[in-house]
Amino acid sequence: MRDFSADHRWLSINTATVRRQRGTEWPLPNILEACAARGIRAVSPWRDQVAAAGLDATARQLRTLDLELSGYCRGGMFTYTDAASRQAVRDDNRRALDEACTLGAACLVLVVGGLPGALEGRPAHRDITSAREQVAEGIAALLDDARDRRMPLAIEPLHPMYAADRACVNTLRQALDLCDRLDPGRTGALGVAVDAYHVWWDPELQAQIARAGRERLLALHVCDWLVPTTDMLLDRGMMGDGVIDLQQLRGWAEAAGFEGYSEVEIFSASNWWQRDGSEVLDTCIARHRSVV
């Protein structure tokens, strides 16, 4: 297992972590500058942040700062209620794919979507099995384009508490079953993003990480599960402040062949988003060394 204690060369910052500082938006160009100034070598930005800064301008800035993308957040939300929304989803995912290529991302992360309409508080039905079939169909369609562009797709299983409204792929086993179905040759075109927050509780975690192997382990996201957790979306904790054994998790991933970045992804409305972005980045670096 790689030694992270002496430096932070394998630290990536998901830019959601510092998208707000002191309660207000921190523009992506400033975030990228602050990361590069600290010797951070990789980031994972969100589409809305890139759109606000400009796609081409962001690509240029990344090159200037010599910053890699450990992933691009995100494609997905594949579920739909009619032909028009199905087409709109496909079109939007193709745009996400193109953006990921322009930015030179390591993979496009997929948050697959829940019951159609649920995120807006108006679920169209209760049939999660059909939603899961729509997800498989949507990934299959996107995968053709992704192969052409040599951009790997990383299915991110989300915690079961998001099954209704954000992602109906909720375990690593389920995500890997999808990979086996859609990419049986393990070509590297389709894999998973393992986010500690979403999967730490899973009694099958070690076995499923081993099953995934190097070809399927496309991204590793870290943060912590706080006790108590006070908000279902915006209370992801800083590494070391919660109950996830992150070194054990990384050990399992590395034993399976993973050699990529540990990407810090924190959403913390009441804590870290209220602080100075510099303080947050410095804390990420320190915790990356001490507990990741």
Using the rule CB under 8 A, give the single segment among 55-63, 195-203, 214-222, 255-263 that binds its own copies.
195-203
Using the rule CB under 8 A, give the single segment among 5-13, 14-22, 24-32, 153-161 that binds its own copies.
153-161
**CA dihedral of residues 91, 93, 99, 100 (deg, nearest 10):** -160
CA 31, distance to chain mean position in Å, is 18
**Is residue 123 a contact point for its own copies (CB under 8 A)?**
yes
Classify residue 224 by burial, with Cβ atoms within 10 Å: 0-12, 13-18, 19+: buried
Q: Which amino acid is at 255?
A: A
Nearer to its own copies, 99 or 241 (CB): 241
Using the rule CB under 8 A, give the single segment among 8-16, 36-44, 224-232, 276-284 that binds its own copies.
224-232
**Is residue 126 a contact point for its own copies (CB under 8 A)?**
yes
Please enumerate in sequence order all residues whose Cβ is within 8 A of that of 207, keeping only pairs 6 or more positions apart, or say none.
none
**Is residue 27 a contact point for its own copies (CB under 8 A)?**
no
Among 170, 262, 268, 283, binds its own copies (CB under 8 A): 170
User: Segment 130-149, which members bind its own copies (CB under 8 A)?
Assistant: 132
Cα 50 from Cα 254, distance rounded (Å): 31
User: Segment 245-284, which members bind its own copies (CB under 8 A)?
Assistant: 245
**Contact (CB, 8 A) for 33 and 2:** no
Using the rule CB under 8 A, give the single segment among 30-38, 137-145, 165-173, 279-287 that binds its own copies.
165-173
Cα 131 from Cα 169, distance rounded (Å): 10
3-state helix, strand, coil in the chain (%, to 5): 45, 15, 35
Which residues of the chain form contacts with its own copies (CB under 8 A)?
115, 118, 121, 123, 126-128, 132, 159-161, 163-165, 168, 170-171, 174, 200-203, 225, 227-229, 232, 242-245
